[in-house]
Structure 1
Amino acid sequence: MAEIKRSLWEVDRREGSFKRHMNILHTDFANKIIVRKKEQALIDIAEKLQAERDSMRSPRLTERSKSTRRNVKGGVRGSLTGLIESQIMSHRKNSTNSQRYYVEENHRPRAERLLVKYQSTEQTNPYQAPPSAQATSMLKGRLSRLNIPIKRDNQVSSETRQQPLQFTAQLPSLIAQVKLVQILDKELIKKKKQEQIQRLIDKFKYLMSLTKSDVSYSDPTRLDITNKEWCRMLLHSDLSFLSFQQFRQLLKVERILTPIARELQFIHGFDKFSREELEDALSQCDKDLFLQLRDKVISYDQLRARVAERQGIATYKVFDDIKGLLNPSILEKLEKQKLRKQAQILRMRKQPVLL
C-alpha cells in the first residue's frame, strides 16, 4: 500500500511539473505572437507611407508628360529618342533591382525586408516626393527596436531545439511511469468491475429474499434482472449464489446463452469450434464444468468428454488429457503436421477451379 501511495505521489508531482513546463511554453508562444503582430503593424505603416508617396507622385508625372509633349510638338526629335532610350535603361535597371530584391527577400527577416524595401523605393524613384522627416525617423526607430525581440525569438528557438534531446534522455523514466500508471489503471478497473458484480449479486439475493413463490425461486429469469446483468454475473463471478437448477434454467434462455457462447468462443479461439456446437454443449453441462471452461482450465473437447461421461454415454480421453504425458518431440511432430495440413489447405484454396 505504501508503494502505491508513493507511486501516486510521484505521478502527481510529475503532472505538476508538466503543467508548469507547458505554462512556460505557452508564455513563450504568446511572446512570439506579440512580436509577429508588431512586425505586421510596421508593415501596415510602410504600406500607408507607400500609398501617400503614390498619391503625391501622380501630379508630377502628368507635368513631366506635358513637357515631353511640348518638346515633340516643337520638333525636337532627338530628345524624344533619347527619352525613350533612357526609359528603356531605367526599366531594365528597375527590373534587375526587383529581381535581386525578390531573391534576397526570402533569406531575410521581415523587419530587414521592410527596411530594404523602404531604401530601394527611396533610391529608384527620383520623381517621388520624399516622406516627411518625422515619418522616416518613426519608421527607422521602430525598425531598430525590433532587434531585441528578434534576438529573443532566436534564443527561444535555440532552446526549443534542445528540448528533443532532453525528452530522449527522460524517455526511459517516462515509459516506466506510463507502465506504472497503466498497471494502476488496470487494478482500479478490475476493482471497479468486482464492485459492480458484487452489487448485482446483492441485488439478486435481495430479490430472492423478497420472493415467496417456488416458481420464482426455481426460475431466476422472472426476477427484475436484465439479460445483460445475468451475462455479466455468469462471466465474472464464481456463481456460488446460484443453485444447479437456477444455472440450468438461465442457460435455457437464448438471449443469455448466445452472448455467453460468443464470449467463450472469443476466449478459446474462433477456429476451435462453432458457436452452435458450444451452445449445445453449454445447455447440457453443469455449473462446475462451465466455470472450468470459462477460466480455460479445460478445453472444448474436454467439456464434451465430461458431459458424455456424466450422462453415461461414453468414457474417453481426448488429446488435451494426455498432452502432458507425451514426449515433447511427439508434440513438435504433431504441430509440424498440423502446419503442413493448414498450408496444404491454403494452397488448394488458391488453385483455380477447372470446369
Structure 2
Amino acid sequence: MTFRRREGFTLIETAFVAAVVGIIAAAMGPALHKARLNARGAVSASNLMQIGQGAGMYAQDNGGKIFSYSWPGWQRNPNGKGFLKVYHKLPDGSTISTISDLEAARAQETEIIWRRLGPDFWDHLDPLYFPGNPARRRIGLVLLDYLDRDPGDELLIDPMDSNQLTWAANPFDYGPGSSVPYANGDPGFGYDYDPSWAGPQLRARWTFSSSYLATVSAWQPDGLSDGIFWVPVASTPHMMTSFMFGNPTDPMRTSELRRFSEVRFPSAKVHFFEEFDREQAGSPYFSYDHARPDKLMFDGSVNAWASGDAMPSWNPRNGKQEWRQTYVPLDTFPVPLGGLGDDTLLSQRYRWTLGGLQGIDYPRPLMGSNRP
C-alpha cells in the first residue's frame, strides 16, 4: 500500500509559522508606522510648497502683493469729514455695507464660499457674522479661489490632521454630536472657552479652516505708530485683539495688501507654518522648542527647523520684550505636553516677529537635513 504525502502544515508547523510572522510584524510595525508618518509629512511639505508657488503666481498677477483678504471696508468722505461705508455685492443678489476692513474680510470670505459652492451654503453662513477674524485660520480661501480650487480643498490640510479632514468632508455636520470644536458644549477644565467658539457661525466655518497658519505680518502692516493693529491676547493664543497706537486718524486698514518686496530676509522669514508638529509624539504645538513643524519661507523654500532655533516673539503693545504665553487648546485640539492646565510659558516665535516683514525669524542658516 502506498501513501501520498499531504501538502500543507501540521498544527505545530502552523503555530510556528504564525509565531514567525508575528515576530516579523512586531519588528516591522514601528518601521512601517514611521514610514507612514514620513510619507504624510512629505505630503504636508508638498502642500506648503504648492502654497508658496501659488503665492508667487498671485503676486505676479497682483503687483507683487501677498495674498490676503483685500475688500476695503471703509473709504474717506470726499468732503474730508469722516469715513463712508463700502457696499459689496454677494452671489445671492444681495448687497451689504461694511464700515471696517474686518467686516469686509468676513464678507469677502462668505462671498468666496457662496460663489464657489452654491446656494446650499447661503442659509448656513452670515456674511457679517460676529466675532471672528478670517485671516487667523481661513486666509487660504483667497489663494484657493485664485487657483480655481474650492473651499475645503486638501491643499490646506495636513494629511495627519484627521479632524480637519473630517470637517472638510462634512461641511454641514457642525451641530451637536459632531466632532467640530464646541459643538457638544463646554469641554471642561484646561480648554479655551470663550463663549464665541460655540456660536453656530464659527462652528460652520471649521470646514473651511486650515492646518497651516499665516504669520501675522503677512497680512497686517508692520508700522505701529499712529495706527490700530492686531495684538496677541494673554489668555489664549487662538484670538487677537485690536490695539490703538498713538493718535490714528484712520480706522484699521488690512485690505491694502503687503508686498513681497517688503520682506527683507525672505529665506529667514516664515510665511506659513503647521500649527502642530504631528510627526512627533503628542503632536506638540508649534511653539514648543523641540517642535519641528514644516514651514514655508518667503523665498518659497520649505523646512522643518526646530522652533527653539527661531527668534523669540514679541507683543507689539509691550515694546521689544519677549512675548511668552501658555498654550491653551481648543476643544478637540492636541493637549499641552504637560497635560490640561499646563501653565508652561511658550514663545510664539515666528507668528509674532519683531519688525514684521522687516524682521528675521531664523537668525542664521540651518544646514543639514530638514527632518530629525
Greater RCO (CA < 8 Å, at least 6 residues apart): 2
TM-score range, shorter chain: under 0.3
Higher strand share: 2
